[in-house]
Chain A
Amino acid sequence: MMDQLPALQVMLPMTMAPLIVLIRNPKWSWLLATLATGAACLVSCLLLMQVIDGSVIRYAIGGWEAPTGIEFYIDRANAGVALLVTGVSFVTLIYAYHSIQHGIDSSRHYLFYTGWLLCTTGLIGMVITGDAFNVFVFLEISSLSTYMLVAFGSDRRALVASFRYLVIGSIGASFILLGIGFLYAATGTLNMVDLAMRIPTTESPRAVLVAFSFLTVGVMIKAAVFPLHGWLLSAYHHAPIAVTAFLAGTATKVSLYILVRMFFSVFGEAYSFEQLFLNWVLLPAAIAGFLTMSLVAIYQTDLRRMLAYSSVAQIGYIIAGISLATQQGLTAAVVHMFNHGMVKAALFMAVGCILYRVGHTHIPSLQRLISRMPFTVTAFIIAGLGLIGVPLTVGFVSKFSLIQALMERGWWAAAVLILVSSVMATAYVGRVIYLLLFRESRSETAGMTGVNEAPLLMLAPLYALLALSVYFGVFGSQTLRLAAGAAQTLLGGYQ
């Protein structure tokens, strides 16, 4: 049983998805989907405990040993990411039950849960697979189901957002496919450990270079790194809010993990950063990303769109950490991936509670909401402080370690710019918190009568996630140690 855990993690949500299509009953579908993701989450925990000491699990699918067959490769670097995916999927799925009651007809709920499970399957698969082509397959499983989930949004603009995401996402995925093709042509293998061994001695370095560029651009589109983030804004804005919370916590993080895995493990740090000077591409993109996106977020009138802009800015921080290519920088990037994943999922869940009761997320019309929905607003404030990076929150842990890493490398200007961006984050989060707590004018509060607190089944998962984020904020050294291990594994390459 224990030997089969890597396969179980992917199979649990995957086999449950077609079952739900047969069952169709909305309540049972939800229950089964929650059980499947919960069990997958448990499996991820067990796997993380097995590899936390630095050991590696290699699981040959169907008994075909790598490099002939496809394998799942689990080590310290990706077990944590898998746990993030299954954990956030589990928590937001519990939350989704009430959240999707408005806007989605109950006769179509089973399709929603099916899409959700398939998306989870794809994301876990992308993280733990050790085969380059398999990454593409799982990527498309998760992408296609994401397009479907986004299109479930109640507004007709969700359809356009989904179509746009589909076009851009397919270009990204095609670039990845093209890159993998060139890699195969240059090396004759698809296994990632094997690729890492053969790339330095390849006879056609130009094909490897082309593969590297296509893969980098393709994965960066999927990760919504600054100049390639266009799809994210409208998709996050118009998707059902439970889907947004799920995606904000997982999808971009998984793509960022693939990026890191590719740069450091497959191509190697020496090739990516010393030979190609990748940091001179990544760092400017990161800085431009977090500065402009934080600035634009200040001027948004819709809460969901504001948080979407903030997401792109936060991805900028992670990219800045990656571009350092040092142990400290990578640790900061990994830790911020987790912390931001938790905080942003919690923020979108709080916004979802507001959307559920008030019916919109227009910021100026939400004045003094605390008198109507005290628990939701409190949750938003706690998560908002985490997003800014106030001491004792998770945001502080990761931003502090990122700034430390930048200073260690002597990149003072970038460190100062992160502080500037944090001030802007204070501005856009602080403005919303102020409005939620205090009233500016009496005229705009109409339509709030009869609004009361969100149902328990929405608040409980929200507060569970918040409790975790507060715990990891106060005891930040634990996540930092875990991330340091992951960074060490990544920098060391495959053994």
Chain B
Amino acid sequence: MATVLGFYNYWVVIVLMMAGLYILISRYNLIKKMIGLSIFQTSIFYLYISIGKVENGTAPILNDDPATIYSNPLPHVLILTAIVVGVATTAVALALSVRIYENYGTIEEDEIRALNAGEHEL
């Protein structure tokens, strides 16, 4: 029980990651797929932030007391970059979804597949 509760942040990561992947695989709607992908990516952000926590550590802002324990700021910096990348990915995917809707009239993957199969292969 102690291990379950003691590592609760990692359990959150695992649950979020699996939920995201499941949505990504099981849904045909392109927007829902993107939601799944975003949840999946968010779980990795949580993992990085968990790594940065130092026990009894405070926010990594330098003060005069030499005895202060700071949390590790590096994972936060890294994950800021990854968040920007995640936003960019979502933006590109949504733009693509709009274009797909304009061209196919639907964003359901199975319907798109049916439309493509009907086209003459040249």
Q: Which of A148, A156, A162, A173 contacts B104 (CB 8 A)?
A: A156
Chain B interface size range: 20 to 34
A147, B96: Cβ atoms closer than 8 Å:
yes
Known: A166-B89, A170-B41, A174-B44. Is A185-B96 also a contact (CB below 8 A)?
A: no
Residue A370 is within 8 A (CB to CB) of chain B in the complex: no
Among the interface residues A133, A170, A173, which one has the most CB atoms of the partner chain B within 10 A? A170
B122, A144: Cβ atoms closer than 8 Å:
no
Known: A167-B37, A178-B44, A184-B51. Is A159-B99 also a contact (CB below 8 A)?
A: yes
Q: Mark B49-88, 1 if CB is under 8 A from A, else 0.
A: 0010000000000000000000000110010011001001
List chain A residues, Cβ under 8 A from B116: 157, 160
A140, B51: Cβ atoms closer than 8 Å:
no
B99, A184: Cβ atoms closer than 8 Å:
no
Minimum CB–CB distance for A129 against chain B, Å: 14
Known: A160-B100, A178-B44, A362-B122. Is A166-B24 also a contact (CB below 8 A)?
A: no
B121, A177: Cβ atoms closer than 8 Å:
no
7 closest A-B pairs by CB: A156-B103, A140-B85, A360-B122, A185-B51, A159-B100, A163-B96, A159-B99
Residue A26 is within 8 A (CB to CB) of chain B in the complex: no
What total of A-B pairs shows CB separation below 8 Å?
73
Known: A170-B41, A174-B40, A181-B47. Is A159-B24 also a contact (CB below 8 A)?
A: no
Residue A8 is within 8 A (CB to CB) of chain B in the complex: no
B96, A181: Cβ atoms closer than 8 Å:
no
Residue A151 is within 8 A (CB to CB) of chain B in the complex: yes
Residue A11 is within 8 A (CB to CB) of chain B in the complex: no
Minimum CB–CB distance for A289 against chain B, Å: 23
Q: How far is the CA of A157 from the CA of B109 in the complex (A)?
A: 12
B51, A171: Cβ atoms closer than 8 Å:
no
List chain A residues, Cβ under 8 A from B41: 170, 174
Residue B48 is within 8 A (CB to CB) of chain A in the complex: yes
B96, A159: Cβ atoms closer than 8 Å:
yes
B97, A170: Cβ atoms closer than 8 Å:
no
Q: Which of A137, A144, A178 contacts B81 (CB 8 A)?
A: A137
Residue B30 is within 8 A (CB to CB) of chain A in the complex: yes
Minimum CB–CB distance for B89 against chain A, Å: 5
Residue A302 is within 8 A (CB to CB) of chain B in the complex: yes
Q: Which of A162-191 contact B (CB under 8 A)?
A: 162-163, 166-167, 170-171, 173-174, 177-178, 181, 184-185
Q: How far is the CA of A170 from the CA of B41 in the complex (A)?
A: 9
List chain B residues, Cβ under 8 A from A171: 21, 24, 37, 40
Q: How far is the CA of A360 from the CA of B121 in the complex (A)?
A: 10
Q: Which of A298-328 contact B (CB under 8 A)?
A: 301-302
List chain B residues, Cβ under 8 A from A166: 89, 92-93, 96
A133, B78: Cβ atoms closer than 8 Å:
yes
What are 7 A-B contacts defined by CB distance under 8 Å? A166-B89, A166-B93, A167-B93, A171-B37, A178-B44, A181-B51, A184-B75
Q: How far is the CA of A362 from the CA of B120 in the complex (A)?
A: 11
